[in-house]
Structure 1
């Protein structure tokens, strides 16, 4: 009979450790994810290593437990959980649901009690039980059948405690852990214990007298007058502490061992959740040897005609066209075939037949012949490579679905079909596989799949248009998103020229800089060592150079970036080490990374814009991600020198909006003080510093302005006192006071924040100035964490989304103006609030007029939009 393996995870303990072990991260929708990411990496390791047959994540139910009846101050003095962490609990529970993992909490009891009770039941049934926690209180559960794995180094590693390991490591038995804790107390839980008794003293006492009761029976035999006095004085505290630290293994849990049987997860659901959270690096880890549930699906038969010649009667107005492609890279993408469905018939057109047909090309390029497609941008780009410029697109199912359901992470045709009640199609992964296992199926399977998708596209057209019109979003699709998609498609196809020699030269320069820095560090250290090895670096810094120890790890001294930052004024070796690390990352990630995606034939990169990803409406880019080139470091900014015009005697021209989100905030909030500052063209951060610190302009220091800037932008993103304190290195109390002073001055902003939350509660969504919606179903949730995240999102989504709408409209206006003026200038890139163009030098004067004019007047706000521009021989020079 196969062994039963039960894994019980202390949810609160592990997510708490993960939060403080990892830097604050959030996905493209603004959801904080660092704690959930850390928890998930640990969970995947458990599934791989333990292969549990039974699995549960236990959570604390609330602040009050039965232990508070014994001691009101139990866990008193703990700092309030940062909202950035508390908001991640519901996200974690949603992820556990996707994994089909049970989670449970019990009023008046802690996760420890749930785990203690189930581990005892498992032990009695002869299961192998593993408990995962960051809390050593759990060590009292250790037995021959129960192993307790305590997280260390944040949560990336665990220390496994068996009875033997516990005795070797701590010199106590599992039963004695309760007595040990009773004597020592626990500051984190506000358990008093016996003051002055630490772990060493407690272990020594328990070696002599095995239990707390025996210690007190023989208290007169304890050596040391002071210790004897402390024990006697605090006897009551010690026994109360024992009661508090004892896990209740007979808690009234309603969940049974049968309820926590684990049978695996549906890969599609977990993949979708990972994509939504931005955990793209974890996707390949769920395609391995897990127990994954497979669901079979019976489909209705479809009939279609496979054609070897395209005739004009097939190509009717309003026909649905699917250009099926496999691959997610501009250079590797392959067109597999075409699906064409109209009111009369359904056709599968082989790739060669379509691309070699003059009839098809004429229809595709005729703007009067209307087409209904999925992903207009991708369709345009794929056909441009074969000399076909698709026109006449009147509907894009991808963008329509994105506007209707911006919170959904999957907008491919089968996913849209399922959401709208059409199930007669399989998901792409079921046809092609995924990752390394991805392959093209046999012709009959491929053809039928493409036709099924095209039928869905044709059938759902009217339904989706009606939904958009109900939401007053049809014009947003027709006037903004679809024209933009075609512009982005042209930009992707055009690409940006990269000076490969210059990149290689930068790589060589960086290599030389790194070698020089390495030598300088060796000279300061007085010896050579591996700069990338914390084990070698730690002793140099903290023993040889005697720098103050900031943090220790189980393997030695911490040399993490945050530690080095705190030491940078202590010794000249530290700034050099920090620079060495930054330059090393530039070299590997950006220099070498960029060379991998340059097209060998054209020396161009063709970044891809994702138009249907972020809930705010902002674009993101991949292959390469040009929005992520680090520009705070001069060496990082210099990478932009490699991006150059594609023609001789042309220049790069960059224009970006100045503080667009703060201007949008001033407009939406209708805040008189903020609007006036922009109308008077004042430096908004200096003005805020003057208002908040009650000083004159000449008294504003650089630090005051820095703090004011952090608050200004923090307000836009719904920052909390915890987030601001982390950004500025100040206490949460100081950060809270700072935010309160801001709202006292900018009352319009405060009123907006309050009113928009009420509006979201009434409607269930908020909108941008162009009617883009962000749905917030959690805004009325009874769960505080869910509700508070939704409220913060309600405040910032209209601001971020409106800024995204504005630059999108500006791109359309500018594109039309350049065509109207018959200029050669063309847009190459959009990076956040910046547009980058290339143009002949003789068009420069006209560009200086047209670009700011189009961008500043694209919409009318209560405050002026301001655009800064620059130009030069490269993207770097145009800054």
Structure 2
């Protein structure tokens, strides 16, 4: 097995520990939050990750070669908090006392040390783990040579895929990306006016900074070209500044980096006692910690030696393999394609497995020079039809269903989806096949990026290599499924397993169908909006500059901060590492002090509408000849069970904005159809009434009274009820999600004392509610989980959390119960509606936005169908109080409000 080295970005890690933990102190008043985070990290070695060697990289004091290049490098960093400075030298001394190797060199930063050790370790054949949150180290990620970052807070590996997901560029392109966007934290200039989106787009088009400037005349946007030319020197200076040196440190003697044999925590026991940090010592003495422990070999690993991956590249062998499948077999099935976008993807082959240690790959459309025999499209289709008669197991069925639907016109039948099962077992854990297989079996799977070169797709992979990769997916999917069944049984979670088979698996079909239908966009209206808001932004920019008698970049928090707090002289109560804070809350507090502040708020709103909604939606709409947008709905995207969506995200499209620009108005019905919105009314409050059985709440809902008005009556009395209804509404919904008096006071613009009176009055009026909410919290503390209406479970590590996190967990638990239960109800309704109308072209379910469903229904069927859908939703589940939905019909989404 490949040995590994862990490189700690020491100062970066310690800084994050300081800000992540509460301000802990010893009995004598010494701050210990950073030290606690550090010792917890050391204690986690062997538990959070395994390593053979470890080294702590440190910054050297004084100037570096970067300050020689650019004297203002890091010149504007804010002062380090005194408490942090107090703890830093102690932590560094502990590193040495614990017996760890420290790497440092004058004139270089820790990042350069990390880069150099990583290069040397990579050349020595070691796997390299870099413990850091610093984005500057993303350039070192190298999946091909097992170099990755590890986030110690989230216990998360950051590899090339994470880099691309977050920034849209590969690690090899990261210095080019940073050269364009710059870095205000380190005072790296970049290209003024070029933001993340533009930088990503330029790198995607040209590949590197040098190539961008070599092709400067090919850049279509005039303004972008001008900005690049104006800042050319800064761009190349920035690249020198952000590019890490990898020749300033080598591993001359690998044994020096070996983990200490003695538990390192014990070596500083006297100091831990001195600083009243004895809990970790108690854990060492009681449990021995996980440090330097051997990973027990899983019994499943014995079978790895006998695993066979068989290429079925001729019809005879394929037929023989298919005909040997026993009648009652479970069969895992997986597709290999050209694209993650199911609308564009072409199938290249598929794999399946029904035996313990043998899996098969069927190649269909590999297209490299000299490719061998493959199975015809027609034979592949017939084979899939046969496999579809068995109990099929998938990892992410929704994707494979759409691939087979689009490429063969077949509807795959799901028996089980291991991704959904992973999510149900722990909604907060990673659900990818690679992660789950390594967790359950200790087997590291072949990574896609290890076999498919950038810019190519699976069709270019040689058949033998493709077989090993694809068949491995099928084999371990089946193994994982069998293991998951055992876990449900071991935990006595048969009820949770039933939810998978009776609800969640059926729901996948609904989402797949919605994704295929899409929703129509009025591209002409969006073009009009784009022109309007562009002009509006120009006008606002002029007004802002005139208001302060200075031109500056309004989108730059740093420049805006200088205008507000230096030029205009406002008092700054909230600063960030990068300078003055200028977020919305800060601006709201200043909006009455100068005319420029409300103008900036208007500018930010307009800017967001332009670049978050109008331009992306227009781009998506123009991709389809019918101008329909196809979003991806994520069933496992939230821990509560609510849906999320991406590319584009349609869950947070604003209800309204400026009077003349209504984004939802651009979502329209096709000709001859209407959009119909059906929305559960006050579903979470109804669930509160159902669960708490509070007499006043139940009575109000059963008598169909205005619940907010009734709350106002209870709190404020009959005379003030109508005028205080809005306040009552805020209280009703706020208390569901743990809103305290401070938050309520801020929301309503009242004193905390007054807010406390409101809350106490509410709980006095609805006595059972307070008791019920307390019972949810008690259940989480005692049991470590909360269950929704249909008994879907969310786990919480309450006992292992810090006090500040525990408060958040209690809020999340209440949130999960009500949001999750509402999600249960709407899923039940969607499944029933889908089954009834899935083959009816006159009725299309298009979107789900939390408690609302949007349909596209042919004009002549609207009245009939909307009443039927309303009836289904209101009677999908029997609560103690009636469910109620509102229905709206219109030509656009905006009409449904």
Q: Which TM-score band applies after superposition, normalised by the shorter structure?
A: 0.5 to 0.7
Deviation, structure 1 residue 88: 11
Q: Secondary structure at the match of 2:794?
A: strand
Find 1:383's aligned residue among 380, 385, 404: 404
The whole-number CA distance in structure 2 between the counterparts of 1:88 and 1:478 is: 42
Asked if 1:612 corresponds to 2:636, the answer is: yes
Where does the alignment leave 5 or more consecutive residues of structure 1 unmatched? 19-34, 37-58, 69-73, 76-80, 103-121, 132-141, 146-154, 162-180, 190-243
Task: Give the corresponding residue for 2:471.
Answer: 451
Q: Which has the higher mean CA deviation after the structures are superposed, 456-465 or 849-858?
A: 456-465
Deviation for aligned residue 1:831: 1.5
Checking the alignment, whether the CA contact within 8 Å between 2:557 and 2:580 is kept in structure 1 is yes
Say whether the 8 Å CA contact 1:770–1:805 is kept in structure 2.
yes
Q: How much does 1:503 deviate?
A: 1.6
Q: Structure 2: how far apart are the matches of 1:66 and 1:779?
A: 29
- Do residues 575 (structure 1) and 598 (structure 2) align? yes
2:688 to 654, 665, 674: 665
1:407-446 residue CA offsets vs partner (Å, 9 max, x unmatched): 212x23232223332x455153563579889986543222
Question: 1: distance between equivalents of 2:802 and 2:347?
Answer: 48
Alpha carbons of structure 1 residues 549 and 798: separation in structure 2 relative to 1, 3 Å: closer
Alignment partner of 2:794 out of 759, 774, 783 = 774
Of 731, 738, 752, which residue of structure 2 is paired with 1:711? 731
Alpha-carbon deviation of 1:761? 4.5
Q: Deviations over 1:320-341 (max 9, x none)?
A: 2111346443455453421022
Following TM superposition, by how much is the alpha carbon of 1:751 offset from its aligned partner in structure 2, in angstroms?
1.5
Cα distance between partner residues in 2 of 1:160 and 1:511 = 39
Specify the SS of the correspondent of 1:666: helix
| Matching of residue 751 in structure 1 with residue 779 in structure 2 | no
Which residue is 2:654 aligned to?
630
In the TM superposition, what whole-angstrom CA distance separates every residue of 1:652-683 from its partner, at most 9, and x where no partner exists? 11111122222212212222222223223333
Match of 1:259 in 2: 100
1:611–1:91 CA distance, 2 compared to 1 (3 A) = farther
Cα deviations across residues 8-30 of structure 1 (Å, max 9, x unaligned)? Answer: 4695x8677x6xxxxxxxxxxxx
Q: Where does residue 810 of structure 1 map in the other structure? A: 829
Retained in 2: the 8 A contact 1:365–1:388? Answer: no
SS in 1 for 2:637: coil
Provide Cα deviations, 1:838-861, integer angstroms capped at 9, x if missing partner: 111001111221121111111111
- TM norm structure 2: 0.66
Check conservation: 1:651, 1:872, Cα contact below 8 A: yes
Task: Select which of 305, 326, 330 maps to 2:311.
Answer: 305
8 Å contact from structure 1 (residues 630, 637) kept in 2: no
Aligned to 2:438: 418
Deviation at 1:824, TM superposition (A): 1.8
Query: For each residue in 1:273-323, what CA deviation from the matched residue of structure 2 results, as whole angstroms up to 9, or x when unmatched?
Result: 4599x9963797978789999x9x996342413233353636766432111
Q: Are residues 699 and 662 of structure 1, via their aligned partners in 2, closer, same or farther at CA, if it must alter by over 3 Å?
A: closer
CA distance in 2, matches of 1:247, 1:555: 21
Give the C-alpha shift of residue 510 in structure 1. 1.4
Could you say what secondary structure the match of 1:836 adopts?
Answer: strand
Identify the range of structure 1 (443-452 vs 465-474) with the bigger mean alpha-carbon deviation. 465-474
Greater alpha carbon shift after TM alignment, 491-500 vs 353-362: 353-362
Per-residue deviation, residues 227-262 of structure 1 (Å, max 9, x unmatched): xxxxxxxxxxxxxxxxx9999979996972633758
CA contact (8 A) 2:826 2:851 kept: yes
Distance between the aligned counterparts of 2:38 and 2:649, measured in 1?
A: 30
1:266-665 to 2 correspondences below 5 Å: 267=148, 270=151, 273=155, 281=166, 300=305, 301-309=307-315, 311=319, 313=323, 318-325=330-337, 327-331=339-343, 333=345, 335-343=347-355, 346-352=359-365, 356-357=377-378, 360-361=381-382, 363-364=384-385, 368-409=389-430, 411-421=431-441, 423-424=442-443, 426-429=445-448, 431-432=450-451, 441-465=461-485, 467-468=487-488, 470-471=492-493, 472-521=495-544, 531-532=554-555, 560-570=583-593, 572-598=595-621, 599-634=623-658, 638-645=662-669, 647-665=670-688
Q: What is the alpha-carbon distance in structure 2 between the residues aligned to residue 247 and residue 648 of structure 1?
A: 67
Three-state SS of the structure 2 residue aligned to 1:591 is helix
1:66 equivalent to 2:28? Answer yes
Q: Offset at 1:595?
A: 3.0
Hey, what does 2:878 align to over in structure 1? 860
1:346: Cα distance to partner? 3.4
Give distance in 2, aligned partners of 1:540 and 1:427. 53
Identify the range of structure 1 (574-583 vs 525-534) with the bigger mean alpha-carbon deviation: 525-534
Cα deviation code 1:479-538 (max 9, x no counterpart): 211111011111112222222222212111212332344455566667876554667767
Alignment of 1:818-833 (within 5 A): 818-819=837-838, 822=840, 824-833=842-851
Aligned residues: 692
Q: Distance in 1 between matches of 2:691 and 2:674?
A: 37
Structure 1 CA distance, aligned partners of 2:791 and 2:549? 64
Gaps of 5+ in 2: 1-6, 65-73, 104-128, 132-146, 175-243, 252-256, 258-294, 296-300, 366-373
Partner residue, 2:711: 688
Query: Secondary structure at the residue paired with 1:803?
Result: helix
Does the aligned pair in 2 maintain the 1:322–1:450 contact within 8 Å? Answer: yes
Residues 587 and 249 of structure 1, relative CA distance in 2, 3 Å threshold: closer
Contact 2:331 2:392 in 1 (8 A): yes
Pick which of 602-611 and 670-679 moved more.
Answer: 670-679
Alpha-carbon contact 1:654-1:837 (below 8 Å) kept: yes
Cα offset for 1:347? 2.3
The farther-off stretch of 545-554 and 655-664 is: 545-554
Equivalent residues of 1:823, 1:843 under 8 A apart: no
Which has the higher mean CA deviation after the structures are superposed, 546-555 or 598-607?
546-555
For residues 344-402 of structure 1, the C-alpha deviation after alignment (integer angstroms, 9 at most, x for no partner) is: 96321113466712563585399755422222211111122224232332222221222
Distance 1:535 1:610, change over 3 A: closer
Measured in 2, the distance between the counterparts of 1:417 and 1:101 equals: 17
Q: Which moved more, 1:478-487 or 1:728-737?
A: 728-737
Does residue 158 of structure 1 match 2:77? yes
Cα distance change, pair 327–99 in 1 and its aligned pair in 2 (3 A): farther
Secondary structure of the corresponding residue to residue 878 of structure 2: coil
d(CA) in 1 for partners of 2:398 and 2:680? 25
1:729 to partner: Cα distance: 5.0
TM-score of the superposed pair, with normalisation by structure 1: 0.67
Residue in 2 that maps onto 1:28: none
CA distance in 1, matches of 2:628, 2:574: 46
Question: In the alignment, is the contact (CA less than 8 A) between 2:829 and 2:872 conserved in 1?
Answer: yes
Give me the whole-angstrom Cα distance separating, in 2, the residues matched to 1:144 and 1:578: 40
